[in-house]
Amino acid sequence: MIQAVLTPAAGKRLIARALAHHSEIRRTLTSGTVVIVAGTTNAYVAEELLGSIGQSAEFDRARFFRGVTLPPVRQPHPGAPVLTEQSFIGDVVIRQGYWLKGKTLFDVADELKGGDLILKGANAVDLGTREAGVLIAHPKGGTTMAVIQAAIGRRVRVIIPVGLEKRVSGRISEIAALMNDPQGEGLRLCPLPGEVFTELEAIKVLTGAEAHLVAGGGVGGAEGAVWLVIRGTQDQEQNVRLLLESIKREPPFEV
């Protein structure tokens, strides 16, 4: 048995590495269309997937997001736009092994079909029901609505990379009802159809070992960290140790 602490940044890197080894994603990268919707976790996913096809040199994760949560002293109003020196680079759209630079989900959404894949992050995850939700600021629902149309209207597969630090207690549908109250103000929340993929699934994909969330929190750079207990065969646990060693120095995401 292994006990391990993962910071949010290390968790993002872990999830990204695992998705780069995901058999369905690897197949779709060369035979169909993969859309990586901009977001902080997906910035790591984009790095790893583009790296796997030798096209990561021009990707910069520093502005690969539409909305982001910052400390209140830097973002007085939740959901307020974040100004950065870099301009938004678009989502990452990979079609039959080639990155279509500058394209967004909206540029290709109507062309997506069964066999294609969308990777879209989330802001809330209920581990018990394996449901995820996305905070909504755009009055028309933003990329979330485009993802839902593709998933339900054309059976496009959706995988939701989301860190364990975003776990919530309660059903996503009930939280959405609370957030979306007509008398309320601020951001809304929309349940997102798709397959939840956390650090737990990432460890399984990369090593075969079973990981369990047992505690969370920390200070001095470990804020938002999660404690895991990981069990497997002797070889699996050795691979887990090597994996954890390789990601433990992952620096925080900078904005």
Q: What is the pLDDT of residues 59-112, one digit of tens each?
A: 998 889 988 888 888 877 776 666 565 678 899 999 999 999 999 999 999 999
Instruction: State the pLDDT confidence band at 142, using cuts at 50, 70 and 90.
Output: very high
pLDDT exceeds cutoff 70 at 115: yes
What pLDDT does residue 254 have?
A: 86
Lowest-pLDDT range of 84-98, 139-153, 173-187: 84-98
What pLDDT does residue 87 have?
A: 78
pLDDT exceeds cutoff 90 at 161: yes
Which pTM was predicted? 0.95
What pLDDT does residue 80 have?
A: 66
Instruction: State the pLDDT confidence band at 255, using cuts at 50, 70 and 90.
Output: confident
- In CATH, the number for domain 11-198 is 3.40.50
Instruction: State the pLDDT confidence band at 6, using cuts at 50, 70 and 90.
Output: very high
Instruction: State the pLDDT confidence band at 229, using cuts at 50, 70 and 90.
Output: very high
What pLDDT does residue 73 have?
A: 81
Instruction: State the pLDDT confidence band at 133, using cuts at 50, 70 and 90.
Output: very high
Q: Are 129 and 168 in contact (CB under 8 A)?
A: no
